[in-house]
Amino acid sequence: MCKGLAALPHSCLERAKEIKTKLGTLLQKPDATIDFIIPYPDKPEKPVKTQKPSPEEALQWRDSLEKLLQNNYGLASFKSFLKSEFSEENIEFWIACEDYKKTKSPIKMAEKAKKIYEEFIRTEAPKEVNIDHFTKAVTMKNLVEPSASSFDMAQKRIHALMEKDSLPRFIRSEFYQELIK
């Protein structure tokens, strides 16, 4: 009746291993001579090397995921927040697609396309994004001859998902609330 771990998809097992590793790190007791603070898991790390936005600028992110993604501090904050929730695959996919679209060399484009497919699109990929069957099929068809627009449909679906689901959670987060004060 119970098939055990063998019945679980490979991506679930990989994700479980990642979470186990992260939790194991948090549970280790520090040496008495080493003084450090374990970060609070619900509060993302503050991004480095970017200028903190004004509260007015950060307030605009509530209404527009696009404005958040165009701001280096906003993008880093959003990515850090999603990482704290173990749900960073969507923003990583979006970033990979943006980088892919800037690629000029057809050889490099084909290499990047394969990497993005293997990491995010393929069934049971390590960071598989949640796209419908039709979008996945269109994307796979586009990859026969990679172009700058090969991932456009999938990227738009993930953008819409982040706008509907991830952005509202980020806006309610303690980190964002501190930014707008």
pLDDT tens sequence across 137-148: 999 999 999 999
Between 38 and 4, the higher pLDDT residue: 4
pLDDT in tens, 100-138: 999 999 999 999 999 999 999 999 999 999 999 999 999
Take residue 105 and report the two structure tokens written for it. Answer: 């060399």
> What per-residue confidence (pLDDT) applies to 84?
92
CB burial readout 41-51, b (16+ within 10 A) else e: eeebeebeeee
C-alpha closest to that of 128 among 145, 116, 146, 111? 116
Query: Domain ranges in the chain?
Result: 55-179
> What per-residue confidence (pLDDT) applies to 3?
58
Where do we find the tokens 């000029």? 104
Angle (CA) 56-49-65 rounded to 5° is: 45
Instruction: Give the separation between CA 63 and CA 18, rounded to whole angstroms.
Output: 33
- Superfamily for domain range 55-179: Regulator of G-protein Signalling 4, domain 2 (1.10.167.10)
Between 93 and 85, the higher pLDDT residue: 93
> What per-residue confidence (pLDDT) applies to 146?
95
Instruction: Give the separation between CA 111 and CA 105, rounded to whole angstroms.
Output: 10
CB 126 within 8 A of CB 28: no
pLDDT in tens, 9-62: 766 667 766 766 665 555 554 444 333 333 434 444 554 456 889 999 999 999
Instruction: Give the separation between CA 82 and CA 108, rounded to whole angstroms.
Output: 29
Q: Quick check: helix, strand or coil at residue 163? A: helix
Task: Grade residue 8 by pLDDT with cuts at 50, 70 and 90.
Answer: low
> What per-residue confidence (pLDDT) applies to 27?
52
